[in-house]
Structure 1
Amino acid sequence: MKQRLDDQAQSRDKKRISIRFCGGCNPQIDRGVIAGQLRASLTGRGYEVVFNQYDADVIIYLSGCTADCANRYSQDIGNTPCIIINGNNVNSTVVKDCELAAYAADKVLNYLSDD
């Protein structure tokens, strides 16, 4: 029990990145693959990655198409920095499908390095 509490306390000390998904009705990209790549990249750098939560230092909205439903139908997050992936765009920049995760991870790291 003590180890579990220690692990929970340690994870709260890490910067938290949340990946929020759209409903997936018209995917032009493989959201699961991209989320997995983001998670591997960011956890490998010591960040905590959670899914579909608002309690985070950065939120990545991951929509399968340009309708951007992950962001459009989410609550107001105030001043929390966010990265918007919608189809093959990251923050309105067209990115090759195979580079989406790396490009978005770099954006996250840029936000977090400004802290």
Structure 2
Amino acid sequence: MLRCTVKFCGGCNPRYDRGEVYQTVRTSLADVAAFSYPEDGVHYDALLIIRGCTGCPYLYEEIDADHRIIIDSADGIEEAIRTIRQLA
């Protein structure tokens, strides 16, 4: 089971429901990945960054994760799911 965490951008310009996207990803990957919010000192297999638009460059480098997967539109959901599934 992959250990995954999630970060949301500040939401200054959201163009879709980021919370709904997170629920979709979590549900779709429940058989291969466990998601939680980040904790200091914890290592993660993957960090899912859910942005509201394409303008945010922040990668949350302070979070220890082997992979960073970015969703910046509703169109990126399936690709993110495939990418995380391939890590398992």
Check conservation: 1:42, 1:49, Cα contact below 8 A: no
Which of the pair is proportionally richer in helix?
Answer: 1
Given that residues 21 and 52 in structure 1 are in contact (C-alpha distance below 8 angstroms), is that contact kept between their aligned partners in structure 2?
no
Q: Which has the larger radius of gyration?
A: 1
The number of residue pairs the alignment matches comes to 86
Gaps of at least 5 residues in structure 2 are none
> Aligned residue for 2:55?
67
What is aligned with 2:84?
Answer: 108
Partner of 1:31: 18
Q: Distance in 2 between matches of 1:79 and 1:73?
A: 11
More strand by share: 2
Tell me, yes or no, if structure 1 residue 80 matches structure 2 residue 80: no
Which has the bigger relative contact order, CA under 8 A and spacing at least 6? 2
Seq. identity, %? 28
> Normalising by the residue count of structure 1, what TM-score does the alignment of the two structures yield?
0.62
C-alpha RMSD of the superposition: 2.2
Q: Which runs of 5+ in 1 are unaligned?
A: 1-13, 89-96
Inter-CA distance 40–108: structure 2 relative to 1 (3 Å threshold): same
The residue type equivalent to 1:55 in the other structure is: H
